[in-house]
Structure 1
Amino acid sequence: MKQIYALGIGHNTPVFLDLALACGYEIAGLYHYNSQRTGETDHGYFILGSFDDLFAKGDLSGLNFLLTMGDNKIRTELSDHIISLGGSVPTLIHPNTVISAFAKISDVGVYISPFTYVQADSYIGSNTVLLSHVNISHTTHIGSSCFIAGGAAIGAYTEMENFVFVGQGALSISAKVKRIGHHAYIGARSLLTRDVPPNVVVAGSPARIIREMGQS
Protein backbone atom coordinates (compact mmCIF):
# COMPACT_ATOMS: atom_id res chain seq x y z
CA MET A 1 0.00 0.00 0.00
CA LYS A 2 1.28 3.48 -0.90
CA GLN A 3 1.97 5.87 1.97
CA ILE A 4 1.08 9.55 2.13
CA TYR A 5 1.84 12.30 4.65
CA ALA A 6 -0.82 14.93 5.38
CA LEU A 7 0.01 18.60 5.89
CA GLY A 8 -2.38 20.83 7.80
CA ILE A 9 -4.53 19.92 10.80
CA GLY A 10 -7.98 21.49 10.97
CA HIS A 11 -11.64 20.96 10.19
CA ASN A 12 -10.90 19.97 6.56
CA THR A 13 -8.29 17.39 7.51
CA PRO A 14 -10.53 14.32 8.00
CA VAL A 15 -12.35 15.08 4.72
CA PHE A 16 -9.10 14.78 2.80
CA LEU A 17 -7.86 11.85 4.90
CA ASP A 18 -11.05 9.99 3.89
CA LEU A 19 -10.27 10.76 0.25
CA ALA A 20 -6.71 9.47 0.50
CA LEU A 21 -7.85 6.28 2.22
CA ALA A 22 -10.53 5.71 -0.43
CA CYS A 23 -7.82 6.07 -3.08
CA GLY A 24 -5.77 3.27 -1.51
CA TYR A 25 -3.21 5.27 0.47
CA GLU A 26 -1.99 4.57 4.00
CA ILE A 27 -1.69 7.71 6.15
CA ALA A 28 1.95 7.72 7.33
CA GLY A 29 1.61 10.73 9.64
CA LEU A 30 0.63 14.38 9.91
CA TYR A 31 2.49 17.69 9.91
CA HIS A 32 1.14 20.88 11.55
CA TYR A 33 2.04 24.43 10.51
CA ASN A 34 3.91 24.92 13.80
CA SER A 35 5.42 22.68 16.49
CA GLN A 36 2.77 23.20 19.17
CA ARG A 37 1.06 19.85 18.54
CA THR A 38 4.09 17.69 17.76
CA GLY A 39 3.71 14.31 19.46
CA GLU A 40 -0.09 14.48 19.67
CA THR A 41 -2.53 12.47 17.58
CA ASP A 42 -5.38 13.70 15.39
CA HIS A 43 -8.06 11.33 14.07
CA GLY A 44 -5.82 8.49 15.19
CA TYR A 45 -2.70 9.64 13.31
CA PHE A 46 0.55 10.80 14.86
CA ILE A 47 1.64 14.44 14.42
CA LEU A 48 5.27 14.09 13.39
CA GLY A 49 6.30 17.76 13.52
CA SER A 50 5.93 21.15 11.88
CA PHE A 51 6.21 22.18 8.25
CA ASP A 52 9.66 23.56 9.09
CA ASP A 53 10.66 20.17 10.51
CA LEU A 54 9.57 18.49 7.30
CA PHE A 55 11.31 20.90 4.97
CA ALA A 56 14.51 20.75 7.04
CA LYS A 57 14.92 17.21 5.74
CA GLY A 58 15.83 18.75 2.37
CA ASP A 59 15.25 15.74 0.13
CA LEU A 60 11.65 14.50 -0.08
CA SER A 61 12.21 12.17 -3.02
CA GLY A 62 9.89 9.18 -3.12
CA LEU A 63 7.44 10.65 -0.58
CA ASN A 64 3.77 11.51 -1.22
CA PHE A 65 1.99 14.43 0.40
CA LEU A 66 -1.64 15.41 0.97
CA LEU A 67 -2.44 19.11 1.48
CA THR A 68 -5.59 19.49 3.58
CA MET A 69 -5.95 23.27 3.86
CA GLY A 70 -8.72 25.12 2.03
CA ASP A 71 -6.68 28.24 1.31
CA ASN A 72 -5.76 28.10 -2.38
CA LYS A 73 -2.62 30.24 -2.03
CA ILE A 74 -1.16 28.30 0.91
CA ARG A 75 -1.97 24.94 -0.70
CA THR A 76 -0.26 25.94 -3.93
CA GLU A 77 2.84 27.38 -2.26
CA LEU A 78 3.28 24.18 -0.23
CA SER A 79 2.76 22.02 -3.32
CA ASP A 80 5.38 23.95 -5.27
CA HIS A 81 7.87 23.72 -2.39
CA ILE A 82 7.34 19.98 -1.90
CA ILE A 83 7.85 19.33 -5.60
CA SER A 84 11.00 21.49 -5.60
CA LEU A 85 12.40 19.17 -2.91
CA GLY A 86 11.63 16.06 -4.96
CA GLY A 87 8.36 15.11 -3.24
CA SER A 88 5.07 14.25 -4.91
CA VAL A 89 1.61 15.79 -4.46
CA PRO A 90 -0.53 13.21 -6.26
CA THR A 91 -3.98 13.83 -7.67
CA LEU A 92 -6.66 11.94 -5.71
CA ILE A 93 -9.97 11.07 -7.35
CA HIS A 94 -12.56 9.25 -5.24
CA PRO A 95 -13.71 5.97 -6.82
CA ASN A 96 -17.33 7.17 -6.65
CA THR A 97 -16.57 10.14 -8.89
CA VAL A 98 -17.58 10.07 -12.55
CA ILE A 99 -14.87 11.38 -14.89
CA SER A 100 -15.54 11.41 -18.63
CA ALA A 101 -13.10 9.46 -20.76
CA PHE A 102 -12.70 12.70 -22.69
CA ALA A 103 -11.91 14.93 -19.68
CA LYS A 104 -8.35 15.81 -18.66
CA ILE A 105 -7.22 16.11 -15.04
CA SER A 106 -3.82 17.42 -13.94
CA ASP A 107 -1.78 14.80 -12.13
CA VAL A 108 -0.57 17.35 -9.53
CA GLY A 109 -2.60 17.96 -6.39
CA VAL A 110 -6.17 17.75 -7.73
CA TYR A 111 -8.63 16.43 -5.13
CA ILE A 112 -12.05 15.26 -6.28
CA SER A 113 -14.56 14.09 -3.68
CA PRO A 114 -17.30 11.45 -4.15
CA PHE A 115 -20.40 11.95 -6.29
CA THR A 116 -18.81 14.66 -8.42
CA TYR A 117 -19.14 14.59 -12.21
CA VAL A 118 -16.60 15.98 -14.68
CA GLN A 119 -18.09 15.92 -18.16
CA ALA A 120 -16.48 15.45 -21.57
CA ASP A 121 -13.89 17.85 -23.00
CA SER A 122 -13.36 19.56 -19.64
CA TYR A 123 -10.03 20.20 -17.95
CA ILE A 124 -9.13 20.49 -14.24
CA GLY A 125 -5.89 22.33 -13.43
CA SER A 126 -3.29 21.49 -10.78
CA ASN A 127 -3.97 21.97 -7.06
CA THR A 128 -7.71 22.38 -7.60
CA VAL A 129 -10.28 20.94 -5.19
CA LEU A 130 -13.75 19.73 -6.20
CA LEU A 131 -15.86 18.72 -3.21
CA SER A 132 -18.83 16.35 -3.26
CA HIS A 133 -21.74 16.68 -5.70
CA VAL A 134 -19.98 19.22 -7.93
CA ASN A 135 -20.86 19.18 -11.62
CA ILE A 136 -18.34 20.41 -14.20
CA SER A 137 -20.20 20.65 -17.49
CA HIS A 138 -18.70 19.73 -20.83
CA THR A 139 -16.17 21.90 -22.66
CA THR A 140 -15.22 23.81 -19.51
CA HIS A 141 -11.72 24.70 -18.33
CA ILE A 142 -11.09 24.95 -14.59
CA GLY A 143 -7.79 26.64 -13.84
CA SER A 144 -5.13 25.85 -11.27
CA SER A 145 -5.51 26.37 -7.53
CA CYS A 146 -9.30 26.70 -7.50
CA PHE A 147 -11.67 25.50 -4.78
CA ILE A 148 -15.23 24.49 -5.73
CA ALA A 149 -17.43 23.69 -2.74
CA GLY A 150 -20.09 21.01 -2.52
CA GLY A 151 -23.12 21.11 -4.76
CA ALA A 152 -21.79 23.78 -7.13
CA ALA A 153 -22.40 23.46 -10.86
CA ILE A 154 -20.21 25.12 -13.50
CA GLY A 155 -21.93 25.39 -16.87
CA ALA A 156 -20.57 24.44 -20.26
CA TYR A 157 -18.18 26.58 -22.33
CA THR A 158 -16.75 28.33 -19.26
CA GLU A 159 -13.14 29.41 -18.78
CA MET A 160 -12.40 29.60 -15.04
CA GLU A 161 -9.05 31.23 -14.37
CA ASN A 162 -6.68 30.42 -11.49
CA PHE A 163 -7.31 30.89 -7.75
CA VAL A 164 -11.11 31.07 -7.96
CA PHE A 165 -13.27 30.13 -4.96
CA VAL A 166 -16.82 28.91 -5.62
CA GLY A 167 -19.17 28.58 -2.64
CA GLN A 168 -21.65 25.82 -1.87
CA GLY A 169 -24.48 25.38 -4.31
CA ALA A 170 -23.40 28.13 -6.71
CA LEU A 171 -24.62 27.77 -10.29
CA SER A 172 -23.24 29.27 -13.51
CA ILE A 173 -25.36 29.14 -16.65
CA SER A 174 -23.96 27.34 -19.69
CA ALA A 175 -22.94 29.67 -22.54
CA LYS A 176 -24.03 32.73 -20.51
CA VAL A 177 -20.88 32.67 -18.35
CA LYS A 178 -17.85 32.40 -20.61
CA ARG A 179 -15.16 33.57 -18.18
CA ILE A 180 -14.66 33.69 -14.41
CA GLY A 181 -11.62 35.84 -13.67
CA HIS A 182 -8.67 34.89 -11.49
CA HIS A 183 -9.02 35.32 -7.72
CA ALA A 184 -12.79 35.77 -8.02
CA TYR A 185 -14.88 34.70 -5.02
CA ILE A 186 -18.34 33.34 -5.76
CA GLY A 187 -20.73 33.35 -2.79
CA ALA A 188 -22.73 30.29 -1.78
CA ARG A 189 -25.90 29.67 -3.83
CA SER A 190 -25.03 32.46 -6.24
CA LEU A 191 -26.58 32.33 -9.70
CA LEU A 192 -24.07 33.47 -12.33
CA THR A 193 -25.70 34.77 -15.51
CA ARG A 194 -22.75 36.73 -16.95
CA ASP A 195 -18.95 36.85 -16.88
CA VAL A 196 -17.17 37.54 -13.59
CA PRO A 197 -14.14 39.87 -13.67
CA PRO A 198 -11.00 39.05 -11.68
CA ASN A 199 -10.47 40.08 -8.06
CA VAL A 200 -14.13 40.54 -7.10
CA VAL A 201 -16.63 39.01 -4.71
CA VAL A 202 -20.01 38.24 -6.24
CA ALA A 203 -23.18 36.96 -4.56
CA GLY A 204 -26.91 36.77 -5.03
CA SER A 205 -29.42 35.56 -7.59
CA PRO A 206 -28.59 36.84 -10.08
CA ALA A 207 -25.07 37.39 -8.79
CA ARG A 208 -23.73 40.92 -8.58
CA ILE A 209 -20.39 42.38 -7.53
CA ILE A 210 -20.53 43.23 -3.85
CA ARG A 211 -16.86 43.96 -3.24
CA GLU A 212 -13.64 44.46 -5.16
CA MET A 213 -10.41 43.00 -3.83
CA GLY A 214 -6.82 44.12 -4.20
CA GLN A 215 -4.94 43.00 -7.29
CA SER A 216 -3.25 39.58 -6.96
Structure 2
Amino acid sequence: MPKEIYLLGVGHSTPFFAELAEACGYRVAGLYHYNDDRTGQTDHGFPILGSFNDLYSSNIEGKNFMLTMGNMEIKREVSRELLHRKGVIPSLVHPNAVISRFAKISDCGVLVCSSCEIHSDAIVGEGCVLWPQVVIGHNTQLHEYVFCGPKAYVGAYIEVYDQAFIGQCSVCISGKIDSIGESAIIGAGAVVTKSVPPNVIVKGNPAKITKVQRGEG
Protein backbone atom coordinates (compact mmCIF):
# COMPACT_ATOMS: atom_id res chain seq x y z
CA MET A 1 0.00 0.00 0.00
CA PRO A 2 1.32 3.50 -0.81
CA LYS A 3 2.18 5.77 2.07
CA GLU A 4 -0.21 8.60 2.81
CA ILE A 5 0.78 12.24 2.48
CA TYR A 6 -1.08 15.48 3.19
CA LEU A 7 -0.64 18.62 1.08
CA LEU A 8 -0.52 22.02 2.75
CA GLY A 9 -1.62 24.95 0.60
CA VAL A 10 -4.57 24.85 -1.79
CA GLY A 11 -4.21 26.73 -5.06
CA HIS A 12 -3.55 26.51 -8.77
CA SER A 13 -0.51 24.27 -8.29
CA THR A 14 -2.32 21.75 -6.08
CA PRO A 15 -2.85 19.13 -8.85
CA PHE A 16 0.70 19.60 -10.10
CA PHE A 17 2.21 18.76 -6.71
CA ALA A 18 -0.36 16.02 -6.07
CA GLU A 19 0.88 14.32 -9.24
CA LEU A 20 4.48 14.66 -8.05
CA ALA A 21 3.55 12.97 -4.77
CA GLU A 22 1.78 10.17 -6.64
CA ALA A 23 4.74 9.71 -9.00
CA CYS A 24 6.90 9.25 -5.91
CA GLY A 25 4.66 6.48 -4.58
CA TYR A 26 2.45 8.40 -2.13
CA ARG A 27 -1.32 8.57 -1.84
CA VAL A 28 -2.68 12.08 -1.23
CA ALA A 29 -4.95 11.62 1.80
CA GLY A 30 -6.16 15.22 1.93
CA LEU A 31 -5.38 18.91 1.80
CA TYR A 32 -5.09 21.69 4.37
CA HIS A 33 -5.80 25.35 3.55
CA TYR A 34 -4.29 28.29 5.42
CA ASN A 35 -7.72 29.29 6.80
CA ASP A 36 -11.21 27.81 7.30
CA ASP A 37 -12.77 29.17 4.12
CA ARG A 38 -12.60 25.93 2.15
CA THR A 39 -12.94 23.29 4.87
CA GLY A 40 -15.23 20.50 3.68
CA GLN A 41 -14.77 21.30 -0.02
CA THR A 42 -12.74 19.31 -2.53
CA ASP A 43 -10.02 20.37 -4.95
CA HIS A 44 -9.35 18.11 -7.97
CA GLY A 45 -11.06 15.34 -6.06
CA PHE A 46 -8.98 15.73 -2.90
CA PRO A 47 -10.83 16.58 0.35
CA ILE A 48 -9.90 19.82 2.11
CA LEU A 49 -9.72 18.61 5.70
CA GLY A 50 -9.28 21.90 7.52
CA SER A 51 -7.01 24.84 8.22
CA PHE A 52 -3.41 24.91 9.33
CA ASN A 53 -4.65 25.66 12.86
CA ASP A 54 -6.85 22.55 12.73
CA LEU A 55 -3.80 20.56 11.74
CA TYR A 56 -1.67 22.01 14.54
CA SER A 57 -4.32 21.13 17.11
CA SER A 58 -4.24 17.45 16.13
CA ASN A 59 -1.65 14.73 16.63
CA ILE A 60 0.54 14.79 13.51
CA GLU A 61 3.45 12.75 14.82
CA GLY A 62 4.83 10.49 12.10
CA LYS A 63 2.48 11.76 9.38
CA ASN A 64 3.87 12.85 6.00
CA PHE A 65 3.39 16.38 4.68
CA MET A 66 4.14 18.20 1.43
CA LEU A 67 4.24 21.99 1.46
CA THR A 68 3.07 23.50 -1.84
CA MET A 69 2.91 27.24 -1.12
CA GLY A 70 5.03 29.50 -3.31
CA ASN A 71 6.08 31.90 -0.56
CA MET A 72 9.29 30.35 0.75
CA GLU A 73 9.32 32.39 3.95
CA ILE A 74 5.90 30.99 4.85
CA LYS A 75 7.03 27.54 3.78
CA ARG A 76 9.99 27.71 6.16
CA GLU A 77 7.77 28.91 9.01
CA VAL A 78 5.19 26.15 8.48
CA SER A 79 7.94 23.54 8.09
CA ARG A 80 9.43 24.50 11.45
CA GLU A 81 6.02 24.16 13.10
CA LEU A 82 5.37 20.73 11.58
CA LEU A 83 8.80 19.43 12.52
CA HIS A 84 8.41 20.78 16.06
CA ARG A 85 5.23 18.73 16.31
CA LYS A 86 7.09 15.66 14.98
CA GLY A 87 5.50 15.66 11.56
CA VAL A 88 7.56 14.33 8.62
CA ILE A 89 8.32 16.40 5.50
CA PRO A 90 9.97 13.99 3.06
CA SER A 91 11.94 15.12 0.04
CA LEU A 92 10.27 14.04 -3.20
CA VAL A 93 12.27 13.50 -6.39
CA HIS A 94 10.39 12.69 -9.59
CA PRO A 95 11.41 9.27 -10.97
CA ASN A 96 12.56 10.71 -14.29
CA ALA A 97 14.79 13.40 -12.76
CA VAL A 98 18.49 12.77 -13.43
CA ILE A 99 20.43 12.98 -10.17
CA SER A 100 24.17 12.36 -9.97
CA ARG A 101 25.12 9.77 -7.40
CA PHE A 102 27.63 12.32 -6.15
CA ALA A 103 24.99 15.02 -5.55
CA LYS A 104 23.57 15.61 -2.06
CA ILE A 105 19.90 16.41 -1.49
CA SER A 106 18.46 17.20 1.94
CA ASP A 107 15.97 14.62 3.12
CA CYS A 108 13.62 17.36 4.38
CA GLY A 109 11.11 19.08 2.14
CA VAL A 110 12.97 19.23 -1.19
CA LEU A 111 10.70 18.96 -4.25
CA VAL A 112 12.39 17.98 -7.51
CA CYS A 113 9.97 17.85 -10.43
CA SER A 114 10.09 16.01 -13.74
CA SER A 115 13.04 16.21 -16.12
CA CYS A 116 15.33 18.06 -13.71
CA GLU A 117 19.09 17.46 -13.66
CA ILE A 118 21.32 17.78 -10.60
CA HIS A 119 24.97 17.26 -11.44
CA SER A 120 27.89 15.84 -9.49
CA ASP A 121 28.87 17.40 -6.15
CA ALA A 122 25.87 19.74 -6.20
CA ILE A 123 24.14 20.28 -2.87
CA VAL A 124 20.42 21.00 -2.52
CA GLY A 125 19.33 22.21 0.91
CA GLU A 126 16.18 21.82 2.98
CA GLY A 127 12.92 22.99 1.45
CA CYS A 128 14.22 23.84 -2.03
CA VAL A 129 11.77 23.60 -4.94
CA LEU A 130 12.89 22.74 -8.48
CA TRP A 131 10.15 22.99 -11.10
CA PRO A 132 10.36 20.92 -14.30
CA GLN A 133 13.52 20.93 -16.42
CA VAL A 134 15.68 22.82 -13.93
CA VAL A 135 19.42 22.13 -14.25
CA ILE A 136 21.78 22.53 -11.28
CA GLY A 137 25.42 22.46 -12.35
CA HIS A 138 28.22 20.54 -10.67
CA ASN A 139 29.68 21.88 -7.42
CA THR A 140 26.82 24.34 -6.98
CA GLN A 141 25.07 24.69 -3.64
CA LEU A 142 21.47 25.70 -3.09
CA HIS A 143 21.05 26.69 0.54
CA GLU A 144 17.64 26.40 2.21
CA TYR A 145 14.26 27.21 0.63
CA VAL A 146 15.56 28.27 -2.78
CA PHE A 147 12.95 28.34 -5.57
CA CYS A 148 13.89 27.50 -9.17
CA GLY A 149 11.25 28.08 -11.83
CA PRO A 150 10.74 25.89 -14.92
CA LYS A 151 13.76 25.50 -17.21
CA ALA A 152 16.02 27.60 -14.98
CA TYR A 153 19.71 26.84 -15.46
CA VAL A 154 22.05 27.37 -12.50
CA GLY A 155 25.60 26.78 -13.68
CA ALA A 156 28.55 25.23 -11.88
CA TYR A 157 30.40 26.53 -8.82
CA ILE A 158 27.65 28.92 -7.70
CA GLU A 159 26.50 29.40 -4.10
CA VAL A 160 22.81 30.27 -3.92
CA TYR A 161 21.74 31.53 -0.50
CA ASP A 162 18.51 31.05 1.46
CA GLN A 163 15.19 31.94 -0.16
CA ALA A 164 16.66 33.13 -3.44
CA PHE A 165 14.18 32.99 -6.33
CA ILE A 166 15.50 31.85 -9.70
CA GLY A 167 12.95 32.72 -12.39
CA GLN A 168 11.87 30.46 -15.23
CA CYS A 169 14.15 30.11 -18.23
CA SER A 170 16.85 32.21 -16.53
CA VAL A 171 20.53 31.33 -17.01
CA CYS A 172 23.18 31.76 -14.32
CA ILE A 173 26.45 31.28 -16.19
CA SER A 174 29.18 28.98 -14.90
CA GLY A 175 32.48 30.70 -14.23
CA LYS A 176 30.94 34.17 -14.16
CA ILE A 177 29.10 34.01 -10.84
CA ASP A 178 30.30 33.19 -7.35
CA SER A 179 27.04 33.69 -5.48
CA ILE A 180 23.39 34.69 -5.54
CA GLY A 181 22.48 36.42 -2.30
CA GLU A 182 19.77 35.62 0.21
CA SER A 183 16.24 36.53 -0.95
CA ALA A 184 17.53 37.80 -4.31
CA ILE A 185 15.14 37.47 -7.25
CA ILE A 186 16.33 36.51 -10.73
CA GLY A 187 13.73 37.56 -13.29
CA ALA A 188 12.31 35.18 -15.88
CA GLY A 189 14.61 34.80 -18.86
CA ALA A 190 17.45 36.77 -17.25
CA VAL A 191 21.04 35.99 -18.22
CA VAL A 192 23.14 36.46 -15.09
CA THR A 193 26.82 37.15 -15.73
CA LYS A 194 28.00 38.33 -12.30
CA SER A 195 27.28 37.69 -8.64
CA VAL A 196 23.98 39.00 -7.28
CA PRO A 197 23.77 40.75 -3.88
CA PRO A 198 21.11 39.78 -1.34
CA ASN A 199 17.63 41.35 -1.43
CA VAL A 200 17.72 42.68 -4.99
CA ILE A 201 15.81 41.98 -8.19
CA VAL A 202 17.78 41.48 -11.40
CA LYS A 203 16.35 41.29 -14.92
CA GLY A 204 17.45 41.32 -18.52
CA ASN A 205 20.35 40.17 -20.70
CA PRO A 206 22.84 40.79 -19.24
CA ALA A 207 20.94 40.93 -15.94
CA LYS A 208 21.03 44.21 -14.06
CA ILE A 209 19.65 45.29 -10.69
CA THR A 210 16.23 46.87 -11.20
CA LYS A 211 15.08 47.07 -7.59
CA VAL A 212 16.51 46.92 -4.08
CA GLN A 213 14.23 45.13 -1.64
CA ARG A 214 13.92 45.55 2.09
CA GLY A 215 17.03 44.93 4.16
CA GLU A 216 19.54 46.09 1.56
CA GLY A 217 21.04 49.55 1.17
Q: What's the TM-score once normalised by structure 1's chain length?
A: 0.98
| CA distance in structure 2 between the aligned counterparts of 1:25 and 1:94, rounded to whole angstroms | 12
Matched pairs, number: 215
Q: CA RMSD in A?
A: 0.8
1:157 counterpart = 2:191: no
Could you give the per-residue CA deviations for residues 70-93 of structure 1, whole angstroms, max 9, x where no partner exists?
111111111111000000010000
Which ranges in structure 2 are unaligned for 5 or more consecutive residues?
Answer: none
- Which residue is equivalent to 1:43? 44
| CA distance in structure 2 between the aligned counterparts of 1:130 and 1:36, rounded to whole angstroms | 29
- Which residue is equivalent to 1:111? 111
Residue identity in the other structure for 1:31: Y
SS in 2 for 1:70: coil
Could you give the per-residue CA deviations for residues 119-141 of structure 1, whole angstroms, max 9, x where no partner exists?
00000000000010110010100
TM superposition shift of 1:107: 0.3
- Which residue is equivalent to 1:129? 129
| CA distance in structure 2 between the aligned counterparts of 1:215 and 1:110, rounded to whole angstroms | 27
- Which residue is equivalent to 1:80? 80
| CA distance in structure 2 between the aligned counterparts of 1:32 and 1:139, rounded to whole angstroms | 37
SS in 1 for 2:87: coil
Residue identity in the other structure for 1:93: V
Q: Say if 1:202 and 1:209, in contact at 8 Å, map to a contact too.
A: yes
SS in 1 for 2:66: strand
Hey, which bits of structure 1, 4+ residues long, moved more than 4 A? none
| CA distance in structure 1 between the aligned counterparts of 2:44 and 2:13, rounded to whole angstroms | 12
TM superposition shift of 1:15: 1.2
**Mapping of 1:54-93 within 5 angstroms?**
54-57=55-58, 59-93=59-93
- Which residue is equivalent to 2:146? 146
Residue identity in the other structure for 2:23: A
Residue identity in the other structure for 2:56: F
- Which residue is equivalent to 2:24? 23
| CA distance in structure 1 between the aligned counterparts of 2:147 and 2:114, rounded to whole angstroms | 15
Residue identity in the other structure for 2:170: A
- Which residue is equivalent to 1:52? 53
| CA distance in structure 1 between the aligned counterparts of 2:144 and 2:63, rounded to whole angstroms | 22
Residue identity in the other structure for 1:19: L
| CA distance in structure 1 between the aligned counterparts of 2:74 and 2:13, rounded to whole angstroms | 14
SS in 2 for 1:30: strand
Once the two structures are aligned, what percentage of the paired residues are identical? Answer: 47
| CA distance in structure 2 between the aligned counterparts of 1:71 and 1:13, rounded to whole angstroms | 14
SS in 1 for 2:49: strand
| CA distance in structure 1 between the aligned counterparts of 2:49 and 2:214, rounded to whole angstroms | 37
Q: Say if 1:13 and 1:69, in contact at 8 Å, map to a contact too.
A: no
| CA distance in structure 2 between the aligned counterparts of 1:80 and 1:16, rounded to whole angstroms | 20
Q: Say if 1:139 and 1:156, in contact at 8 Å, map to a contact too.
A: yes
Residue identity in the other structure for 2:94: H
| CA distance in structure 2 between the aligned counterparts of 1:99 and 1:151, rounded to whole angstroms | 16
